[in-house]
Chains A and B, each alone.
Chain A
Amino acid sequence: MDLVVVGNGMVGQRLVEAVRERDREGRWRVTVFGEEPRRAYDRVALSSYFDGVPAADLDLVAAGCYDGADCVLHLDEPVTRIDLTEHSVSTGAGRTVRYDALVLATGSYPFVPPVPGRDLPGCFVYRTLDDLDAIRDAADHAAGQTRGRRAGLVVGGGLLGLEAARALRLLGLSPHVVELAPRLMPLQVDEAGAGLLREMIEELDVTVHTGTSVASIQPAADSPRLIATLASGVELDVDLVVFSAGVRPRDQLAREAGLAVGERGGVVVDDGCRTSDPDVYAVGECACAGGRVYGLVAPGYAMAEVVADRLVGGRATFTAADTSTKLKLMGVDVASFGDALGTSPGALAVTLHNPVAHTYAKLVVSDDAKTLLGGLLVGDASRYASLRPLVGRPLPGDPVAMIAPAGADAGSGAGALPGEAQVCSCHAVTKGAIAAAISEHGLCDVAGVKECTRAGTGCGSCVPLLKSLLADSGVALSTALCEHFDHTRAELFEIVRAGGIGTFTELVQAHGRGRGCDICKPVVASILASLEHGHILDGEQAALQDTNDHFLANIQRNGTYSVVPRIPGGEVTPDKLVVLGEVARDFGLYTKITGAQRIDLLGARVEQLPAIWRRLVDAGFESGHAYGKALRTVKSCVGSTWCRYGVQDSVSLAIELELRYRGIRSPHKIKAGVSGCARECAEAQSKDVGVIATENGWNLYVGGNGGFRPRHADLLLADVDTATLVTTVDRFIMFYVRTADRLQRTAAWVESLSRDGVDGLAYLRSVLVDDSLGIAAELDAAMARHVDCYTDEWAEVLADPRRLSRFVSFVNAPDTPDPSITFVSERGQPRPVSVGPVPVALEVLR
């Protein structure tokens, strides 16, 4: 039988793929007509096109979808007529095709208000990739014409308008947004929330005009620009105008064919998405279901699934869709759910507006203050997942506490939910069902819950709740490293050491299962590096490393890397400093002094790394291991050599320690510091290993760190000589390398050592100083081996053509730079052009 689909947008494509998936017997031959020259692409992600995302990456069509003869896509060929009696459609290319079932997925068109001048060159709509190309061309053209800052006018301040404003910003234009309603996003956000949103986006160079409209658009007298006059009298001098004031269903074909359409447009469908003709269905933005036209893609997808099910004999129905939304608008989190605007009779609102933190939260409750009706979150939408399922349910606690900042008693966690509350609204899974699945199937992680109940596999916003339900059910967290090994990192270390195991394959075959993952592979690589002292890119080890260790550099957000040469103790000669400057200049690298007394050179592409390092190694630099879980740096003050307060030579000791421990691979990074007196200018107490000079020698501190949860180090030894100090640090580091967990800094490790009433520090002292475990000699020997075997990883790579051959941009174009990496100048230095995510979220209105 023949299925004809009119339209190849997001929903039309989803329908085709859903039918192909369900129609296992191959009942339907599918013919699709698309009006655009491109096959289905992600319209929700449109503005990312200006982030540099190539059009190809927005493509939504599953591989192989149109490969067979029984599923055919005709692009650039609009359907012009439907003949219900003949069961056929005719196209712009003069083709007539018969159907047994017809699906209309014609989407919507942009609404352009009847403003005089709206057809002038420079006026655009925001809907298709062709529209975007036209907007970009106009912006580029303006760049050559306009002196000063280019500007664009966006008509419409809803979701779509703000998306368009983001797009203009990405093109380098200053956007003006005009919204007829008294506030931005009038359909989703209330006055206070919109006020905050406005404040935040105005900081991003967007000018907002609300409560007014565009009265006329005229060509400027003395330039190629446009003058837009607002009803308020304001005149805006802009390079282009984008209309994004909402969409209207495209129902013309259906009207002409005699199908029923809604009062305000849209092809009327029943709960099976069937139109007034039983062989014709309509889905997505062109359909009017239950008297409503949905401008969101998620309900469109739901309709597509319903029709696919019906076509294979199912009875699926489409009911009123949840139009709750959570999204990021120009970087601002906005979530709106249930009756967010409080339009229910007698509704009460509880709000919390924090202008300092830029957050606004509102809960709408019933007139008796017992039932949650909806809510709104701006600036911080992290509570969305736990609040949305409570809509329509009795309030579990004080509504103020439910929206109070984290830390206060939330009363809105999973525990507060009744058993019948829907946790996952995408798949209608209740808390009770999830709890039952956890106990019946002995589920112990989110992945298990997803597989068993489908909860969390829709929009994913309930995943935090799933985690807390797992925790509430008393699931003991496994100490297994990952699904491939039942052991902890420390156990694996002992297995590798005792068994003389040399490769990951050997280890996983004898003591694990599968082929590893991003958790266990780097752990095993680190263990092998700690024990074997071979080059970390030798043989099979190369494939285990994460990208930082693989390219001996730190990956940055745009896919470039940073280069940090070792500057032991922070001491550097003027000549070497000059070399760093020259290298940074010649390769166009962003240059910044780090907090650890080194110099960070950022923005290097993979294929540039060898040439950069050739220059650095020739000048006497070596790897700084900033990319590794390894010793980073030993920070120092100038010490007694120069400082009038210094009592010991902190710089010499710092250099000695840094050269001794450089290159050692460990469970996490190790930082150290040496201060020449008690004034502590090297901030040694915030390091994993901190040394502070005394009149008589050194005090040794361990287990400190900065970062997310700063912690001061504890005093392990007082007033010791240099030899004792070095021996103790040797043992401390080796013991840590052997026994700590993956990604466990020394602070947490020392705490974890406490047992039988003995605190971790005392236990550590007994092992390292009194040799209570009888392993001191072993630890000393292991460190001696490390010191003897150290070589510079970068010098070795440069000397080995095989290793060098991996530093290419493309395997088939080794010298072609990644074209998507671009920079702009900021304060005289390069800065990466922001490459945003490719938004795949469902929520933006179209």
Chain B
Amino acid sequence: MTTLFTVVCRYDDLLPERGAAALLGTRQVALFRTFDGTVHAIANRDPFTGANVLSRGIVGNRGDRTTLASPLHKQVFDLSTGACLDDPEVVVPVYPTRVRDGLVEVAAG
């Protein structure tokens, strides 16, 4: 299976330690530029409420994991794996990203 990357925005469009939502086809993706400059992409849909809001959560860390807290009920997710750290049954999809020529690309196929 080949991985198809789609250009989503300029790297500079992303505020450090803040998220942005992107629309890839019908799929909503939440993008985050973290403190170390990495770009993470997870599904934008908050699994606990069904609302597409994860891009609006607060970025931080828990131990050595880079995290995101849902803006609705504050459940915390590991941005690298999508695992919910407050509810081991819950995982949100994670999508590969890369930055090329100052452009952020996501593979959410």
In chain A, residues 486-545, which have Cβ atoms closer than 8 Å to a Cβ of chain B?
A: 514-518, 520-522, 540, 542-544
Known A458-B88, A811-B9, A811-B31: A837·B50 in contact at CB below 8 Å: yes
Complex contact B43–A57 (CB within 8 A): yes
- Please encode chain A, from 813 to 830, with 1 for each CB lying within 8 Å of some chain B CB and 0 for all others: 100101111000000000
Tell me the nearest residue of chain A to B64, going by C-beta. A514
Instruction: Confirm or deny: A195 has a beta carbon within 8 angstroms of a beta carbon on chain B.
Output: no
Instruction: Confirm or deny: B72 has a beta carbon within 8 angstroms of a beta carbon on chain A.
Output: yes
Of the listed stretches A554-562, A639-647, A688-696, chain B binds: A554-562
Instruction: Confirm or deny: A408 has a beta carbon within 8 angstroms of a beta carbon on chain B.
Output: no
Name the interface size band of chain A: 35 or more
In chain B, residues 20-37, which have Cβ atoms closer than 8 Å to a Cβ of chain A?
A: 20-23, 26-28, 31, 34-35
Q: Which of A73, A517, A812, A836 contacts B61 (CB 8 A)?
A: A517
Known A543-B15, A811-B21: A557·B72 in contact at CB below 8 Å: yes
Known A63-B94, A459-B89: A836·B50 in contact at CB below 8 Å: yes
Of the listed stretches A47-55, A563-571, A709-717, chain B binds: A47-55
Complex contact B71–A555 (CB within 8 A): yes
Tell me the nearest residue of chain A to B66, going by C-beta. A515
Complex contact B20–A818 (CB within 8 A): no
Report chain A residues within 8 Å CB of B47. Answer: 837-838, 840
Complex contact A812–B15 (CB within 8 A): no
Tell me the nearest residue of chain B to A56, going by C-beta. B27
Complex contact B93–A517 (CB within 8 A): no
Q: Which of B3, B31, B91, B95 contacts A67 (CB 8 A)?
A: B3
B3 CB to closest chain A CB (Å) equals 7
Complex contact A517–B67 (CB within 8 A): yes
- Please encode chain B, from 51 to 72, with 1 for each CB lying within 8 Å of some chain A CB and 0 for all others: 1110011111111001101011
A551 CB to closest chain B CB (Å) equals 8
Complex contact A543–B18 (CB within 8 A): yes
Complex contact A811–B50 (CB within 8 A): no
Q: Which of B15, B28, B57, B62 contacts A818 (CB 8 A)?
A: B28
Report chain B residues within 8 Å CB of A484. Answer: 60-61
Q: Which of B23, B56, B62, B69 contacts A550 (CB 8 A)?
A: B56
Report chain A residues within 8 Å CB of B17. Answer: 515, 543
Known A483-B62, A812-B22: A66·B8 in contact at CB below 8 Å: no
Number of interface residues of B (CB under 8 A): 55
Known A460-B88, A518-B74: A64·B57 in contact at CB below 8 Å: no
A385 CB to closest chain B CB (Å) equals 14
Report chain A residues within 8 Å CB of B53. Answer: 547, 555, 559
Instruction: Confirm or deny: A380 has a beta carbon within 8 angstroms of a beta carbon on chain B.
Output: no
A interface, by DSSP: helix, strand, loop or mixed?
A: loop
A299 CB to closest chain B CB (Å) equals 15
Complex contact B60–A521 (CB within 8 A): yes
Report chain B residues within 8 Å CB of A540. Answer: 16
Tell me the nearest residue of chain A to B109, going by C-beta. A56
Instruction: Confirm or deny: B101 has a beta carbon within 8 angstroms of a beta carbon on chain A.
Output: no
Complex contact B89–A837 (CB within 8 A): no
Complex contact A64–B21 (CB within 8 A): no
A250 to B89, CA, bound (A): 27
Known A515-B60, A517-B58, A517-B69: A810·B27 in contact at CB below 8 Å: no
Report chain B residues within 8 Å CB of A73. Answer: 1
Report chain A residues within 8 Å CB of B76. Answer: 517-518
A835 to B28, CA, bound (A): 15
Complex contact A811–B71 (CB within 8 A): no
A812 to B27, CA, bound (A): 12
A423 CB to closest chain B CB (Å) equals 15
A540 to B16, CA, bound (A): 8
Complex contact A838–B50 (CB within 8 A): yes
Report chain B residues within 8 Å CB of A835. Answer: 49-51
Report chain A residues within 8 Å CB of B50. Answer: 48, 51-53, 835-838
Q: A57-B43, A521-B58 are in contact. List 11 more A-B contacts (CB 8 A).
A: A63-B95, A483-B62, A520-B60, A543-B15, A543-B16, A555-B72, A810-B23, A811-B20, A812-B22, A813-B23, A816-B23
User: Which 6 residue pairs spanning A and B have beta carbons closest together?
Assistant: A835-B50, A518-B69, A517-B60, A559-B51, A547-B71, A547-B56
30 interchain pairs, CB-CB under 8 A: A56-B26, A63-B82, A67-B3, A457-B88, A460-B88, A484-B61, A515-B34, A517-B62, A517-B67, A517-B69, A518-B69, A518-B76, A522-B58, A540-B16, A543-B15, A543-B18, A546-B58, A555-B72, A557-B51, A557-B72, A809-B23, A811-B21, A812-B9, A812-B22, A813-B22, A820-B45, A820-B52, A836-B50, A838-B45, A840-B47
